[in-house]
Amino acid sequence: MDRKDFLSQVGISAAALLIPACVGGLSSCTKASNNTTAPTNVDFTLDISTGSLSANGGFLTHNGVLVARTNTSTFLAVSAACTHEGTNVNYVASANDFLCPNHGAMYDSNGTVTRGPATQNLSKYNTSLTGTSLRVYS
């Protein structure tokens, strides 16, 4: 068997192994989770003295809510799941908006869709800062 035949056989074998996996629904062959339901009855507190929220532009996801620090005392909180297919959005500090890394949907700082494919807004939550404790609530 020469190199060309060997590589051909390896490719066919790999394809034969992957087809059942894709048909079976492994995550690498399927769309992102379609869980786009925004959390309800949100009420939790975060310590912002350390971690990603200790610096301007930092963000994190907690209990399905994305919390972002825009400046010294201003925070944003929106539902983390893109309303298109449920991929978690990221906070883009330079633009003060949210971007879905999966299909490029964009939302402004209030969670309003500014670019599709998403058609529904992100849910927005309240924030209240007391010292180094940030309360996020519905």
Asked if the model's pLDDT at residue 11 lies above 80, the reply is no
Which secondary-structure segment (H or E) carries 97? strand 97-99
Can you tell me the distance from the alpha carbon of 101 to that of 17, in angstroms, rounded to the nearest whole number? 29
Q: Which tokens sit at 73?
A: 């005392």
Q: What is the pLDDT of residues 84-108, one digit of tens each?
A: 999 999 999 999 999 999 999 999 9
Structure confidence at residue 2 as a pLDDT band (50, 70, 90): low
Lowest mean per-residue pLDDT among 33-37, 77-81, 111-115, 134-138: 33-37
pTM for the structure as a whole: 0.74
How far apart are the two ends of the chain, measured CA to CA in Å? Answer: 67
The conformational region for residue 95 under phi > 0 = left, psi -120 to 50 = alpha, else beta, is: alpha
> 72-84 pLDDT, tens per residue?
789 999 999 999 9
pLDDT of residue 44: 97
